[in-house]
Homo-oligomer: A and B are copies of this chain.
């Protein structure tokens, strides 16, 4: 494998990604694997100049691999390693390498263990996955049944990965990136940092960091808008890790000075994770009463490992009876102001806190649509409330989008409200 490192190659190595799957050509699924791999490769300084997609067709797969081998150092294929007859990647690789497919006993044992855990006998089709080209390197797939394969081909490296994103992501992060880093011996370090922002539109954030978005390499800033969130990604490339870290910090400080408490976290941090960290740190507990979000806030808070430390109860109080009988919302308030009102949000938060004996109580009521809106209470109107020992806050929010988008934005606003209070 070290062949590709021969000393006359002084330029950095590059990689090419070939996604295999007729379902991609038909547009049945969106190709997220390619972006994931490319991003991880960029982080270790490996350039990707080509990405392509071919169907489960041996001739076209072979053509694509040959084309890639003529212009790229590392060829990564995704997909076509499954148990069914239309999965032909392994056969194609074997035929390109002029190698026989032979049964690998370790893979077979893994396969048996994998199905045993699921209490299923190894299906006949899946047995195919234990056959790999003779003498080839393979890597265990910890979350699926198809191992990854690595082979030398015409002086280049071919890496074959399974298509399901959850298996692929795990293999890329745990095994492939460390492996490529080792063989590429890239002389520089790439560092990036994503600053995560809530409570502002992309254009508002854009206006505050316009000069930074225009920065030229080696240090650049990109802006990415998501539902209810904006991300600023700082990237830099340097021969020294210390200098790279310094360049990132310089830009990060500028961003922090301008966006202040709109920033909730960095990199992989989520807003629920940031709330979790703050609650755990202050040894505080929380209970949530949700109407329009229907359990989404509880779901997000319990996505964080260890959430049982601070999350005591979530009540999706969809019917008015539950609001009244369990949370103690006053029927008169519902009668007079409606279930979607400031007072009901407040009484829900108070009721949740009382019922679960927590430090903080949260109440959410609104109209997620698509039906049910009126002129004075349109779809997207949401009231959120927070009650703690010290204070009570009720906020009116207005969102737009589909039912699920409104639910998500409301949950985002509630989590942001909790974060700011802590």
Contacts and interface: CB of A to CB of B under 8 A. Distances in A.
Interface stretch (A88-96, A197-205, A257-265, A413-421): A197-205
B315 A313 contact: yes
Interface stretch (A5-13, A150-158, A248-256, A402-410): A402-410
A49 B60 contact: yes
A302 B294 contact: yes
A104 interface: no
A8 B223 CA distance: 47
Given A125-B206, A316-B313, A29 B22 contact: no
A307 B306 CA distance: 31
Given A34-B31, A299-B296, A398 B224 contact: no
A348 B381 CA distance: 33
B49 A407 contact: no
A351 interface: no
A133 to B, nearest CB: 22
A123 B318 contact: no
A301 interface: yes
Interface in A264-323: 288, 290, 293-299, 301-303, 305-308, 311-319, 321-322
B302 A316 contact: yes
Contacts of A25: 38, 47-51
Nearest to A117: B400
Interface string A121-135: 001111000000000
A84 interface: yes
A37 B265 CA distance: 34
B24 A35 contact: yes
Copies in the complex: 2
For the side of the interface on A, what is the size category? 35 or more
A312 B302 contact: no
A24 B317 CA distance: 42
Contact of A305 (B24, B143, B369): B369
A177 to B, nearest CB: 13
Interface in A206-263: 206-207, 210, 213-214, 222-225, 227, 233, 235
A366 interface: no
A393 to B, nearest CB: 19
A85 B209 CA distance: 12
A143 B401 CA distance: 7
A26 interface: yes
Contact of A314 (B51, B60, B294): B294
A42 to B, nearest CB: 5
Interface in A389-404: 398, 400-404
Contacts of A305: 369-371, 403
Contacts of A206: 83-84, 123, 125
A49 B38 contact: no
Contacts of A402: 166
A326 interface: yes
A40 interface: yes
A356 interface: yes
Contacts of A29: 35, 224
Interface string A19-54: 000111111111110111111111000011111111
In the A-B complex, the 4 residue pairs with the closest CB atoms? A294-B302, A295-B298, A27-B39, A314-B316
16 contacts: A23-B222, A24-B34, A25-B49, A27-B35, A27-B36, A49-B57, A50-B60, A124-B207, A294-B314, A295-B295, A298-B298, A302-B318, A313-B317, A313-B318, A314-B314, A321-B357
Given A294-B301, A307-B318, 5 more contacts: A30-B32, A84-B206, A123-B203, A123-B207, A319-B356
Interface of A: 22-32, 34-42, 47-55, 57, 60, 82-86, 117-120, 123-126, 143, 164, 166, 201-204, 206-207, 210, 213-214, 222-225, 227, 233, 235, 288, 290, 293-299, 301-303, 305-308, 311-319, 321-322, 326, 355-357, 368-371, 398, 400-405, 407
